[in-house]
Chains A and B, each alone.
Chain A
Amino acid sequence: MKYLIIGNSVAAVAAVEAIREKDGKGDITLISDEPQFVYSRPLISYLLAGNVKVEQMYYRGKNFYENNKVRAVLGKRVTSVDAANRKVVLEDGEEFLFEKLLIATGGKPIVPKTKGSDLNGVFTFTKWDDVEKIKKLLLGTEVKRAVIVGGGLIGLKAAEGLTALGIKITIVELSDRIMSSTFDGTTSEMMKKILEKRGVEVVTKNTADEIIANGSKVGGVVLRDGTRINCEMVVFAIGVSPNIEMVKNSGIKVNRGIHVDEYMRTNFPDIYAAGDVVEAYDLVLRDNRPIAIWPNASIQGAVAGHNMAGGTKKYVGSFAMNSIEICDIPTISMGLTDPPAGKGYEVLQQLDEEKPTYRKIILKDNVVVGAIFVNDIDRAGIFTSLIKDKIDTSSFKDVLLKEEFGLAWFPKEYRKHLVVGPGIEI
């Protein structure tokens, strides 16, 4: 069998490992436009801040390709996929044939058309190369102040990394609060206060209209309301969209992301897709949509790899979830965190503004559909499984927020189902 994988992040890595579990012999070729060996993208903010060393960026051993007999073609971009003739074409014209293809090209940062966005000192923040570019600027330019456009997860992690380097940060967020797609208003306000305590300025209901030049470099930003902020650096952190350029005109079905079935197969039976590039089933919203998070990419990649090697594993779906620590405050969010009013959702919450800690559980018809944990994240994963398994909590709803809550409150059958493994009883 001739396997071809486009991409080199977690979905691709998980696919390689899953293929090799079933097929020790087939040819695996992996193509990535990034030059680096397998590394962890979520660690780039830690790398920028100096909290992880270069060696720690690699989450698989140095011999990963060799051990798995993978031919890695790194630093080369795939420009098109020819589904009918089963080949992909690189930008230098080189062609690779395949029998099974996995598209795991991830997401690419959204950069709005803004005057001055081509200036030296304007960055995105999703890849290792972005850190290298930022460091290169810092070598030759004194950066006192930076404006981050976008107050989501990427923006906050960029803010944290740059603050650690002594740079004064202004976050500019278009909506009325930061982290609006992850959290509810209460949490957004908490995070804003925590950031402000660290000297980060947060501006909402505003965005960058123009980046002003200082020679070939960034000199400042003019916001939509006319405010001018002098700065030497701008980071666009608005979000990512599925990186699907290479499948345009290929006949591969794309909506918001590449459309896949429960086997992670596209509309071509020998072409699979996994990770941030696909739109997969959201168990909470009951719709297909891209959920760009690490665990999903890993699980989808493993399912795709298994099936490419002849298996029939199904991907059951997932939902949005994230764990992010900002300014030493750990937070976990999952599912629907800010339910619309008047639609029958029930909300349990517990806020301590002093500590500060916050826990919020969102239910619909006694089934947990979302949760937020701020600075009190112990055993949060129990709620992930309550959401996933759609467990009726009516018999223990009143203890969901209590510290002692745990598996002891689950119906015995469900507890057994969870804990049972080969030879395991409870």
Chain B
Amino acid sequence: MVMKKRKIVINEDVCMGCRLCEVHCLVKHSKSKKIIKAFKGEYPRALPMILVEEKGHLSFALQCRHCEDAPCLSSCITGALYRDPNSGAILYDEKKCVGCWMCIMVCPFGVIKRGSEKKIVSKCDLCLDENVPVCVKNCPNEALICVEEKL
């Protein structure tokens, strides 16, 4: 269990838009955790919890910012979204979520998605069970960096 506050830093100046972060995030959140199976053998396919924006030569990956003052937390009518006291991360309990989409309405980054199968939200969980989030680990150009500070 991570007891430190984890943040993923985005550096758009060096992002190449290769989307490896998306690929590895999807695999991480798939059932099989195997890259080929996750893409070709799981229906519905898992969703990446990160997105890549592109505009001409500009590109950057974006995932939940785990805001200090998180609008999604104030908007959640079921208590499904909560702040993990150990890591400061905003996590969600899919059993509680009813798919009212209030969080989608208020997230300024547009990084909370509707789940692919059930009516649940899908958002970055900071890979708390990994030493480094998979998007960061697999970024070839340090466009995503993980920083940790003690809570």
Task: Report which A residues bind B (CB closer than 8 A).
Answer: 14, 40, 42-43, 46, 51-52, 56, 58-60, 294-295, 298-299, 302, 321-325, 330, 332, 334, 377-382, 384-385, 404, 406-409, 418-419, 421-426
Contact B74 A381 (CB under 8 A): no
Is the C-beta of B91 less than 8 angstroms from some C-beta in chain A? no
A384 to B, closest residue via Cβ = B106
As a 0/1 sequence over residues 116 to 148 of chain B, the CB contacts with chain A under 8 angstroms (1 = contact) are: 000000000000000000000000000000010
- How close is B123's CB to chain A, nearest CB, in angstroms? 12
Alpha-carbon separation in the docked complex, A325 to B74 (Å): 19
Residues of A within 8 A of B68 (CB): 421-422
Contact B109 A418 (CB under 8 A): yes
- Contact (A423, B108) CB under 8 Å given A56-B96, A58-B79, A295-B102: no
| Chain A facing B: main interface SS | mixed
Residues of B within 8 A of A422 (CB): 7, 68, 149
Contact B78 A43 (CB under 8 A): yes
A58 to B, closest residue via Cβ = B79
The one of A295, A334, A408 that contacts B71, using a Cβ cutoff of 8 Å: A295
Contact A407 B62 (CB under 8 A): yes
- Which of B24-32, B36-44, B51-59 contacts the other chain? B51-59
A301 to B, closest residue via Cβ = B74
- In order of increasing CB-CB distance, the 9 nearest A-B pairs are A379-B110, A59-B79, A385-B108, A381-B107, A408-B55, A298-B74, A295-B75, A408-B53, A323-B105
- How close is A270's CB to chain B, nearest CB, in angstroms? 25
- Contact (A424, B108) CB under 8 Å given A46-B98, A298-B75: no
- Contact (A294, B77) CB under 8 Å given A377-B104, A404-B54, A424-B10: yes
Residues of A within 8 A of B51 (CB): 406
The one of A46, A378, A406 that contacts B113, using a Cβ cutoff of 8 Å: A378
- Contact (A325, B102) CB under 8 Å given A60-B79, A298-B74, A425-B11: no
As a 0/1 sequence over residues 61 to 73 of chain B, the CB contacts with chain A under 8 angstroms (1 = contact) are: 0100101100100
Residues of A within 8 A of B95 (CB): 56
A-B pair count, CB < 8 Å, reads 132
Residues of A within 8 A of B75 (CB): 294-295, 298
A40 to B, closest residue via Cβ = B77
The one of B55, B76, B108, B149 that contacts A381, using a Cβ cutoff of 8 Å: B108
Alpha-carbon separation in the docked complex, A324 to B105 (Å): 10
Residues of B within 8 A of A321 (CB): 105-106
Is the C-beta of B20 less than 8 angstroms from some C-beta in chain A? no
Residues of A within 8 A of B58 (CB): 408
Alpha-carbon separation in the docked complex, A321 to B62 (Å): 25
- Contact (A424, B62) CB under 8 Å given A14-B74, A323-B101: no
The one of A46, A323, A424 that contacts B104, using a Cβ cutoff of 8 Å: A323
- How close is A254's CB to chain B, nearest CB, in angstroms? 25
Alpha-carbon separation in the docked complex, A360 to B151 (Å): 43
B15 to A, closest residue via Cβ = A426
Contact B101 A377 (CB under 8 A): yes
The one of A60, A380, A425 that contacts B105, using a Cβ cutoff of 8 Å: A380
